[in-house]
Amino acid sequence: MKAMIFDQPGDPDVLHAADLPTPEPGPGQIRVRVDAVALNRLDLWIRAGQMGRRPIPMPHILGSDVCGQVDALGHGVRGPTVGTHVIVAPGFGCGHCPHCAAGRDSMCPQYQLLGFQVQGGYAQFVVADARNVIPISDNLTPTQWAAVPLDFLTAWHMIVTRAALQPGEDVLVQAAGSGVGSAAIQIARFAGAGRVITTASTAGKLGRGRQLGADVTVNYAEHPDFAKQVLDATGGKGVEVIVDHVGAGTWEQCLACLATGGRLVTCGATGGGDVSFNIQKLYFRQHQIIGSMMGTRSELDRVLDLLAAGRLTPVVDRTFPLEQAPAAHRHMLSRAQFGKIVLKVS
Ligand SMILES: NC(=O)c1ccc[n+]([C@@H]2O[C@H](COP(=O)([O-])OP(=O)(O)OC[C@H]3O[C@@H](n4cnc5c(N)ncnc54)[C@H](OP(=O)(O)O)[C@@H]3O)[C@@H](O)[C@H]2O)c1
Ligand SMILES: [Zn+2]
């Protein structure tokens, strides 16, 4: 099969086309013919060798967000039938540890991501355990479905599960144009938020943020002290929930506009992971800082149902042919995208 692989970490041009043996599905597995695979920021870091010492299979095939068709069933697998349109769950636990047994998949010590610890979807075929291959409806294109799994799951877990957003609470979503942000604006709106406030670095992205459901937008490139705008928009109260994934660069301003009793939920550190905060302010304001990682299978099923019903909408920035994966990575690095960048596989 054709795949875009890298043999050594480095800049986007380490990604190159290769002919690899088509993977065979083992017992209990399914081979999926990939139609489309979306990029995630994670791909940039894995490709650049910035994910620490965690071992990855080499040469490596990136790609956590796969949409395709069932191509072959391994021994013991009864369905879905060949040709069924599916996505692959982007993350999966071991299935039998205490966390997995309790449905907390992403707390599993063996939790793995497609395209990270196992070979992913920058290829014509990918193999996955049958339990992670999920039939999808035909109301969206393969490109749109590929734009869904990882970020909608993450944003749902952050807002609904970890922050436990209550109806009427105000929410601040950082970076409207990010994969996480473009999903989070919609999920906050769906979950009954009061005001949804979002940030971005350009007027164009802020306009798109409003189309997705944001009531108030703040250009944090022009206003790095965006807490003031958020406080003004909420009558001085601040927001009850903040969805952050930038870290350094937004952290202190986030805490400055978090309402008393508010929850700052973070899943990322695109701008850097080292931040500082004041413990006295933390307890005096009764703030909660909450970490969030991917989500559970039942949450994924829930967001897929909402996408199928048209209650949530995938946000696709643009597509590239699989062979142009280096250009797609450069496009993400340029910070110009709004929503997901998707590779189409022929
Ligand atoms: N823990 C989890 O389960 C999980 C899951 C998904 C993602 N994440 C993390 O969440 C973050 C966002 O991921 P994503 O895939 O949504 O990213 P993305 O689509 O590439 O979006 C990143 C956006 O962040 C904004 N940004 C702010 N400061 C930035 C900086 N210093 N450098 C680059 N961009 C900056 C940019 O928008 P503006 O130009 O408008 O500022 C940029 O477009 C990443 O850190 C990722 O690893 C974590
Ligand atoms: Zn487990």
Q: How far apart are CA 128 and CA 343, in angstroms?
A: 19
Same-domain status, 259 and 187: yes
Instruction: Give the per-residue pLDDT at 319.
Output: 98
**pLDDT means per 10 residues in the chain (346 residues)?**
97 98 98 98 96 88 98 97 98 96 95 97 98 97 98 98 98 98 98 98 98 98 97 98 97 98 98 95 97 98 98 98 98 98 96
In a domain, 257, yes or no: yes
Instruction: Give the per-residue pLDDT at 52.
Output: 80
CATH number for the domain harbouring residue 84: 3.90.180.10
The gap from C-alpha 137 to its chain's centroid, in whole angstroms, comes to 20
Same-domain status, 161 and 258: yes
Give the number of other CB atoms < 10 A from CB of residue 48.
16
Residue 268, ligand 1, Cβ within 6 A: yes
Tokens of 260: 């008393």
Please report how many Cα atoms fall inside a 13 Å half-sphere around the Cα of residue 313, on the Cβ side. 12
Ligand in closest contact with the CA of 108: 2
pLDDT, tens digit, for every residue of 315-330?
Answer: 999 999 999 999 999 9
Residue 219, ligand 1, Cβ within 6 A: no
Same-domain status, 128 and 167: no
Residue 100 domain boundaries: 2-148+314-344
Ligand 1 atom at minimum distance from 40 CA: 15
Ligand 1 atom at minimum distance from 45 CA: 47
DSSP per-residue codes, 177-214 = TSHHHHHHHHHHHHTT-S-EEEEESSHHHHHHHHHHT-
CB within 8 Å of 123: residues ≥ 6 apart: 1, 2, 3, 4, 20, 34, 61, 63, 322, 345
- Which residues sit with Cβ closer than 5 angstroms to ligand 2, an ion? 93-94, 97, 100, 108
Total domains present in the chain: 2
Same-domain status, 135 and 238: no
Tokens of 234: 């909420």
Q: Which residues pair with 342 in a beta bridge?
A: 38, 319
Same-domain status, 50 and 144: yes
Same-domain status, 138 and 56: yes
Same-domain status, 168 and 250: yes
Residue with tokens 């002290």: 225
| Of 46, 153, 162, 180, best ligand 1 pocket probe by most atoms within 8 Å of the beta carbon | 180
